[in-house]
Amino acid sequence: MKSTKIIQQVSIFVKQEFAKRMPKEYTYHCLAHTEGVVASVLKIGQYYNLENKKLEELEVAAWFHDLGYAEGAEGHEKRSAKEAENFLQNRGFPQGRIHIIQLLILATNLGTTPQTLGEKIIRDADASHLGSVDFATISNKLRAEWASVDGKVFTELEWLQLNIDFLSNHKYFTTSAKHLYAKKKQENLLALNYKRQFLINT
């Protein structure tokens, strides 16, 4: 989809806000993660031949979805949705579409079940790194973030088991994400299990 005026405005704003407000300790929930989710919602969404308006809503939501981390992890989805609302209202964006974007952002909460296709797409995009060749590197960024922000420190074996459990229980919601990421996610899971067994045996 060709970048629209509102997407250009949103991307500039979010990048500036990340630079100004996001604590450096957030090594996983950083601008690179947001940019990855933006790319993934478009990749997944294009599979369904969504109209440009729906892709635009998904892209805007993806840009905003983690901005609430500037004030901490707890409740960040609601703060991200509010930031999106304030920004879009100030630019005369239609209220009905703002509401859809807010629901898309809230759907990234792991404690919720996405309902609409759009919500399933952004939820899958937020977990696209699980099926990425960069999974190990990205996982280590999350480990460093948890240690720095929350004081959660894991041994290598504990961290491997945590990731094994998460990948084993995770399911993509859309056919597109399954096609794009499921095979590599399974390979990543096998690699984690191999490393775990190696550590146990040494």
For residue 200, pLDDT beyond 90:
yes
Specify the pLDDT at position 60. Answer: 98
Architecture of the structural domain at 5-201: Orthogonal Bundle (1.10)
14-59 per-position pLDDT tens digit? 999 999 999 999 999 999 999 999 999 999 998 998 999 999 999 9
95-108 per-position pLDDT tens digit? 999 999 999 999 99
For residue 76, pLDDT beyond 70:
yes
What value does the mean pLDDT of the chain take? 96
Specify the pLDDT at position 87. Answer: 98
Domain boundaries along the sequence of the chain? 5-201
Q: Cβ(73)–Cβ(83) under 8 Å?
A: no
For residue 78, pLDDT beyond 90:
yes
157-172 per-position pLDDT tens digit? 999 999 999 999 999 9
Mean pLDDT of 118-144: 98
172/102 Cα distance (integer angstroms): 21
- Residue 7 in tokens: 């997407």
- Residue 68 in tokens: 């609430």
For residue 2, pLDDT beyond 80:
no
For residue 1, pLDDT beyond 80:
no
User: Residue 100: which of 36, 51, 44 has the closest Cα?
Assistant: 51
User: What is the DSSP annotation of 103-132?
Assistant: HHHHTT-TTS---SHHHHHHHHHHTGGGGS
Q: Cβ(68)–Cβ(78) under 8 Å?
A: yes
For residue 71, pLDDT beyond 70:
yes
Predicted TM-score (pTM) of this structure: 0.95
Q: Cβ(52)–Cβ(64) under 8 Å?
A: no
Percent of the chain with pLDDT over 90: 97
